């Protein structure tokens, strides 16, 4: 099977033989104010080699309505639920990229910290959020050394548990640098369909109708305070012959949908100096990508920034049908950043990875436009003789 030789977070270029190197698929439009924007109409491929003319076509097919979208996210998380909570697991069999990944990220982070947060006691404690943290590889090897507090967000519980165990050991000895919060949630908001649907089939054979009703109501009372619980009792096969025959065989089904607020992640206002998102944003649809960054902005302290580290397609996009993730091109990302109202403050290419993998890029993103370097004085003005009054 393709998956056996293809890691999920790194896709061999050989998987995408038809991928063009040109970004010319992006139609560029010129608006009256001469601002050039790119529409998402680059062609892309999936891992079976199928071509999509545009990203919109692909998204419509895979996440075009709420049930497809729910399935998209379920499949993505299910994929990772079947992966071992090890370095090899989260790196798709490429544990050897851990070292160059961490060292390149560290170089980038050091520059960003020195430029954005010059030593200043008032900024302490430095706090970071590790999004799609997996087993806490990045937190353990990099973030916890530079930040006083790290929060981890990861939808796959056995990964997050592994992270908690590894980091707890270190935290006992270090109170100045510690992992604080572990959020078992995805980056996207829950759709109504992706709430935890719990079909509770109560086959109450020979149960009196009144007893079933009482049980159903008790369950509602028990659940409602802690969850925003909608219940609808659907009699599936109700063989109640007459309202007076209390002991006639019954079969009832009750459907409980839990709209739990804890399923959605919106950060506390101004908690983070940095929000780091590595090798997980590909799981989000474009719409949820933009929605996530817009929500997450409120979590940044003034001057704070995002770091997004991702695989980069040479053009358009590449869909991985198995883990339900999309690898976007640099241009695709830049269009999404602009929709999020984010600016690329700095970017850096990953080096030192084995041949054959996707290119990897790091973007530091800010909510404020980078200040332009002061213009060099023109020769005419500097050479103009001064008038001495």
Ligand X SMILES: C[S@@+](CC[C@H](N)C(=O)[O-])C[C@H]1O[C@@H](n2cnc3c(N)ncnc32)[C@H](O)[C@@H]1O
Residue 187 interacts with ligand X (CB under 6 A): yes or no: yes
Of 156 and 342, CB closest to ligand X: 156
How many Cβ atoms sit within 10 Å of the Cβ of residue 126?
19
Of 44 and 186, CB closest to ligand X: 186
Tell me which stretch binds ligand X (CB under 6 A): 44-52, 114-122, 181-189, 354-362: 181-189
Residue 267 interacts with ligand X (CB under 6 A): yes or no: no
Residue 47 interacts with ligand X (CB under 6 A): yes or no: no
Of 76 and 207, CB closest to ligand X: 76
Give one DSSP letter per residue of 87-126, joined into a string: HHHHTTT-GGGHHHHHHHHHHHHHHHHHHHS-S-GGGPSP
The region that residue 138 occupies, defined by phi over 0 for left and psi between -120 and 50 for alpha, beta otherwise, is alpha
Q: In angstroms, what is the minimal distance from the CB of 171 to ligand X?
A: 19
Residue 164 interacts with ligand X (CB under 6 A): yes or no: no
CA distance 226 to 222: 8
CA distance 268 to 282: 24
Q: Which ranges of 157-231 does DSSP label H, i.e. alpha helix?
A: 157-173, 209-223
Token pair in block for residue 153: 């967000």
CA distance 56 to 62: 10
Residue 254 interacts with ligand X (CB under 6 A): yes or no: no
Q: In angstroms, what is the minimal distance from the CB of 287 to ligand X?
A: 13
Of 155 and 316, CB closest to ligand X: 155
Q: Does an H or E element contain 278, and which?
A: strand 272-278
Cβ atoms of 15 and 47 within 8 Å: the answer is yes
Cβ atoms of 183 and 157 within 8 Å: the answer is no
Q: Per-residue x/- mask for ligand X, residues 74 to 103, rule CB under 6 A?
A: --xx--x---------x-------------
Residue 44 interacts with ligand X (CB under 6 A): yes or no: no
Of 7 and 316, CB closest to ligand X: 7
Of 74 and 343, CB closest to ligand X: 74
Give one DSSP letter per residue of 25-69, joined into a string: TS-EEE-TT--EEE-S---EEETTS-EESSHHHHHHHHHSSHHHH
Of 97 and 254, CB closest to ligand X: 97
Q: Name residues contacting ligand X, limited to 102-121 (CB under 6 A).
A: none
Token pair in block for residue 385: 């003789």
Of 302, 328, 295, 300, the C-alpha closest to 314 is: 328
Residue 156 interacts with ligand X (CB under 6 A): yes or no: yes
Task: Tell me, by CB under 6 A, how many residues bind ligand X.
Answer: 22
Q: Name residues contacting ligand X, limited to 127-146 (CB under 6 A).
A: 132-134, 137-138
Residue 194 interacts with ligand X (CB under 6 A): yes or no: no
Q: Three-state DSSP class for 272?
A: strand
Q: In angstroms, what is the minimal distance from the CB of 348 to ligand X?
A: 16
Residue 278 interacts with ligand X (CB under 6 A): yes or no: yes
Residue 11 interacts with ligand X (CB under 6 A): yes or no: no
Q: In angstroms, what is the minimal distance from the CB of 42 to ligand X?
A: 23
Residue 327 interacts with ligand X (CB under 6 A): yes or no: no
Of 102 and 219, CB closest to ligand X: 102
Q: Three-state DSSP class for 149?
A: strand
Q: Does an H or E element contain 2, and which?
A: helix 2-5
**Which residues is 46 bridged to in the sheet?**
319
Q: Which of 46, 149, 151, 154 binds ligand X (CB under 6 A)?
A: 154
The binding site for ligand X (CB under 6 A) comprises 9, 73, 76-77, 80, 90, 132-134, 137-138, 154-156, 159, 186-188, 278-280, 283
């Amino acid at each position: 099977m393709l998956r056996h030789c293809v890691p999920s977070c790194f896709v061999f270029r050989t998987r995408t033989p038809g991928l063009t190197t040109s970004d010319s698929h992006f139609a560029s439009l010129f608006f009256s104010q001469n601002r050039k924007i790119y529409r998402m109409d680059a062609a892309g491929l999936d891992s079976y080699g199928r071509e999509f003319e545009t990203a919109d076509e692909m998204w419509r097919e895979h996440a075009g309505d709420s049930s497809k979208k729910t399935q998209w996210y379920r499949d993505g998380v299910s994929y990772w639920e079947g992966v071992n909570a090890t370095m090899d697991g989260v790196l798709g069999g490429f544990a050897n990229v851990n070292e160059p990944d961490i060292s390149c990220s560290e170089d980038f982070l050091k520059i960003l910290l020195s430029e954005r947060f010059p030593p200043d006691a008032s900024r302490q404690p430095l706090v970071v959020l590790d999004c799609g943290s997996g087993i806490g590889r990045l937190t353990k090897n990099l973030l916890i050394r530079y930040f006083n507090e790290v929060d981890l967000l990861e939808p796959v519980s056995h990964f997050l548990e592994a992270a908690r165990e590894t980091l707890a050991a270190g935290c006992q000895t270090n109170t100045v640098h510690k992992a604080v919060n572990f959020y078992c949630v995805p980056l996207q908001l829950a759709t109504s369909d992706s709430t935890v649907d719990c079909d509770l089939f109560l086959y109450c054979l020979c149960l009196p109708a009144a007893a079933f009703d009482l049980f159903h109501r008790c369950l509602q009372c028990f659940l409602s305070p802690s969850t925003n619980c909608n219940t609808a009792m659907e009699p599936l096969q109700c063989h109640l012959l007459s309202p007076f025959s209390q002991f006639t065989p019954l079969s009832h089904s009750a459907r409980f949908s839990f709209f739990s607020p804890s399923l959605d992640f919106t950060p506390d206002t101004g908690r983070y100096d940095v929000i780091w998102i590595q090798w997980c944003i590909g799981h989000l649809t474009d719409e949820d990508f933009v929605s996530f960054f817009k929500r997450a902005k409120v979590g940044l302290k003034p001057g704070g920034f995002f770091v997004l580290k991702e695989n980069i397609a040479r053009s358009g996009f590449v869909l991985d049908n198995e883990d339900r993730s999309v690898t976007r091109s640099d241009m695709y990302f830049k269009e999404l950043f602009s929709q999020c109202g984010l600016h690329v403050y700095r970017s850096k290419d990953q080096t030192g990875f084995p041949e054959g993998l996707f290119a990897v890029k790091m973007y530091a993103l800010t909510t404020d436009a980078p200040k332009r370097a002061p213009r060099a004085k023109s020769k005419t003005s500097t050479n103009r003789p001064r008038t001495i009054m």
